[in-house]
Structure 1
């Protein structure tokens, strides 16, 4: 009955029926496939609104379900697409026809005539949106049509080489290539990894990827040597840029061993002119290769991008590369299987590199928590770079300073990669870990300050701290992984925190003091979503910056069509789980956009598709790490933590309420750290801690500093005291077991207020005196 009504609605303008997605769910895949040709024959200018809505609903349902299409329905669909191509000023979309071929329930029908007509209609267009779909369709027509399409798409030698490759592929393999048409690498989120995996599984394409990238590197070398004439931004055609971007993604995904050498030639080669000009051979290819590295990063690709950034003379390229590099490094932290690969760079086993600089001088680079460059004369330490070294060995000085920056960036990347692997509970063979991480001259400083555990028997784990403990005696194939407090009891967590503070061990990221987020009764009741961090007002630009830093993707919000709200997403555990965080644009405050926060949901990837998962089914480690990120976003960017907030109305009410609210897990970890830090400070006798506040007794007043927002109330009447963090005293000499800007601010304010009689800042002193 429903099928008959829909078929009539698509063909009879006098029969009107509005449908909903729930209605279409009643159709079988075969029925949906039979309706598809009629739905694509409908043109909005010739039918009633009800008929148009019915046609669009059927098309959308087919896109979502990908039904099996009979050969006859497939033929009728192609004929419908031909009709549309003749009656539309826009280029016809071939993807429904390709999807029908892929999902055809029998042998492909004879399609030579419609395939020829569709190909000819697209060849006259200025641009071709779906080149691989066009090539597949052209192959169903005749050789002349296929040659015409190949000639059109083969703009440039590398693009023509790809056309020659496609000509030798089977129709089924050509169909795999059509999935690239749905990939838009210029917007976020990026394409699904499985699209590239299918391509990476085609041996002939892997061979082509290597030859294409090597040919591009050879061309870049030729431009730099002068063998090829230089024209700014003309080194590669638009089609070659697209083809090379695809080739790079396949090679990066496979982590091909030949790729680092090619990247080291290609990226710097297209980033600087062979002349003194401030132009580049190809901005388009440079950015496309960096975008490819963002999707499938490797340490070597990051190094090549940094090199390109250092050599370019173009005014705008460095700024753009800096933005992209942040995304590449964040993505590298998620790809733990390659991110832990660090070069040794000539450092000895103790993390020291020595370079002679003439006349008894020597440079020493030593890696502890960071890399430090010092100079010596006959083994005696010097305070600065000797004048003669600066004069006669300027290149060496620059090289070593660049090396220090490079090492520090690699250590940061390593720390991010190790932390990024925590949700996946990543394990490593002990033999490899002992040699390539704990024994690596650079990695050892990061690895040594983290707590690890090794499986000594099935299900039995032993914890150790490499910086202070002997490495366990265990087989090379034993599993070693980072310790996580969610797997430990409270007493064990307490013991590790005490040990780190007592031993003055500063961890590269928060591990022992890491917040734990377990399912609450309220979340068990809501089942599919969490409102734990909902209804907060945040500085939107800051929050979006944290999204990028923590590997979340989101669209830009603002007062424009479609900019009212979005779900920030982060994919975890090698693509098996996804967290979603809804946030909405609210308004502007002093040219600063403000957003509100909403629910958090989780999806599991099943059969290649994301399916919403009940919170109770999310692995505890995945849930905890995702919720920790959201807590960070809210805690750092909430307007409640802004001491300068002056807006009134509902936002002010939120500021007053949230600025002194109960502590979140992040603030609780901060409180736990203060319990251990305060007794070591000179102001310890002036400080007390309660459930939400650090109370500081000054000579003039007593102050209560909120451990979440760092906002201050003055007793006895709880008058608000505004202190902008930049005006407080630094606490560089106070040991912190982990990096926490808010904790540093709280300690700075505490030290300032403990000696409030000595405060000379007029604005702060006026507030104190006025309240008194």
Structure 2
């Protein structure tokens, strides 16, 4: 972990009172390692060249061919295409297998956000921290480690050390100590803010939204699970928490139900009887489903969604370090961009652009990437990336050469 941009000490925010946790699950067989080393890489000698498969980050697997001079080559060397075609084909197939395993592990570990699962520390080290593939997912995530007194302390795996939010090393837990995946719904608001500072300050790419995850809690009596996104025609269900719970959206008003599986049957439970991580993840799934439903359209004039709020938080943290910082400001569910020709409001829920004054929709193509080299995002989010790309484009609107876009911009000015 980098020592730059450390947040202030916040261990007092992370010391949690004893909280019940689910029992440790059955031993896990672990994902295939594909012959990779603990660092997530493998090298093969082929015809005088070296082929290296490496997990570069939680989202990326690269296959690189290195020549005798030690320089990476942009493509497969011509000398290998004929005489060593079989070995090259086999190596490419292995790289595809590693990519598939990495994607499956990201999805599997994210699903554990809804589970009350714990692991003995020694087992967690074998199947998560030290695993060649799963380890690339586990590193960059936040975990909780139980003390003998029942308190949980939070840290992220560093280089052979567990790093706390203030950059200190957490004492190594005993082999039987319990470990669980950290969920922001269980944390105090100050702890969530501290970990978000840590993630962005250390440019820590997370395998999925964790520090910046949307959280949900039961609403007032009678409306504990209302998402208030209009009506929903049909019914949808999804199983959570390793099959122990099921969340559903029923026809009519967008009301979410929770069912627990007991003795082979599903039984609906009141919202306040649902464990907080299960409730939060279930509501998150339902909210996402309703926003993506064919009849759904996020109202730009309405209250920002939870996801738009997360994007706003990310933008407030990363924009000050960019060259367009002085031209951008977050305003509710919008990123306001002041260009040379007009001012624009980029909707954080959809990425749509409205012009000011007038509120007319501006249709722009895929935003160019110029000026965003090295820009860090703490998690993968296509809409957030599009919002940023659009902001860079419109902040320099006087340089736009696309006549169709320029006609829209100059209309009404």
How does the TM-score come out when normalised to structure 1? Answer: 0.46
CA contact (8 A) 1:640 1:659 kept: no
Q: Residue 391 and residue 736 in structure 1: after superposition, are their counterparts in 2 closer, same or farther (change >3 A)? A: same
3-state SS of paired residue (2:261): strand
Q: Residue 605 and residue 367 in structure 1: after superposition, are their counterparts in 2 closer, same or farther (change >3 A)? A: closer
Specify the alignment match of 2:166 in structure 1. Answer: none
Superposition deviation, residue 468 in structure 1: 5.8
The aligned runs of 1:653-664 (5 Å cut-off) are: 658-664=299-305
- 1:362 counterpart = 2:54: no
Specify the alignment match of 1:66 in structure 2. Answer: none
The aligned runs of 1:708-727 (5 Å cut-off) are: 708-723=349-364, 726-727=365-366
Q: Residue 705 and residue 338 in structure 1: after superposition, are their counterparts in 2 closer, same or farther (change >3 A)? A: farther
Superposition deviation, residue 390 in structure 1: 1.5
Give the strand-richer structure, 1 or 2: 2
For 1:468 and 1:371, how far apart are their aligned partners in 2? 20
- 1:341 counterpart = 2:30: yes
Specify the alignment match of 2:400 in structure 1. Answer: 759
The CA deviation string for residues 124-148 of structure 1, in whole angstroms up to 9 with x for no partner, is xxxxxxxxxxxxxxxxxxxxxxxxx
The aligned runs of 1:551-700 (5 Å cut-off) are: 565-583=233-251, 598-637=254-293, 658-700=299-341
For 1:575 and 1:423, how far apart are their aligned partners in 2? 10
CA contact (8 A) 2:231 2:251 kept: no
For 1:380 and 1:628, how far apart are their aligned partners in 2? 48
3-state SS of paired residue (1:391): helix
User: Which residue, out of 366, 375, 378, partners 2:68?
Assistant: 378
The CA deviation string for residues 279-299 of structure 1, in whole angstroms up to 9 with x for no partner, is xxxxxxxxxxxxxxxxxxxxx
Higher relative contact order (CA 8 A, sep 6+): 2
**Structure 2: tracts of 5 or more residues without a match:** 1-24, 163-170
The CA deviation string for residues 304-333 of structure 1, in whole angstroms up to 9 with x for no partner, is xxxxxxxxxxxxxxxxxxxxxxxxxxxxxx
Q: Residue 754 and residue 636 in structure 1: after superposition, are their counterparts in 2 closer, same or farther (change >3 A)? A: farther
Specify the alignment match of 1:411 in structure 2. Answer: 102
CA contact (8 A) 1:390 1:397 kept: yes
Q: For the aligned residues, what is the CA RMSD?
A: 2.3
For 2:223 and 2:332, how far apart are their aligned partners in 1? 28
User: Which residue, out of 515, 535, 540, partners 2:230?
Assistant: 535
User: Which residue, out of 703, 712, 719, partners 2:344?
Assistant: 703
3-state SS of paired residue (1:445): helix
Q: Residue 476 and residue 713 in structure 1: after superposition, are their counterparts in 2 closer, same or farther (change >3 A)? A: same
The aligned runs of 1:172-183 (5 Å cut-off) are: none
Specify the alignment match of 1:459 in structure 2. Answer: 150
3-state SS of paired residue (2:368): coil
User: Which residue, out of 512, 518, 543, partners 2:217?
Assistant: 518
3-state SS of paired residue (1:771): coil
For 1:339 and 1:756, how far apart are their aligned partners in 2? 54
For 2:398 and 2:206, how far apart are their aligned partners in 1? 36
**Structure 1: tracts of 5 or more residues without a match:** 1-335, 538-564, 585-596, 642-654
For 1:727 and 1:583, how far apart are their aligned partners in 2? 36
The aligned runs of 1:293-442 (5 Å cut-off) are: 341-358=30-47, 360-369=48-57, 370-378=60-68, 380-383=70-73, 384-442=75-133
3-state SS of paired residue (1:450): coil
User: Which residue, out of 177, 194, 203, partners 1:478?
Assistant: 177
Give the helix-richer structure, 1 or 2: 1
3-state SS of paired residue (1:532): strand
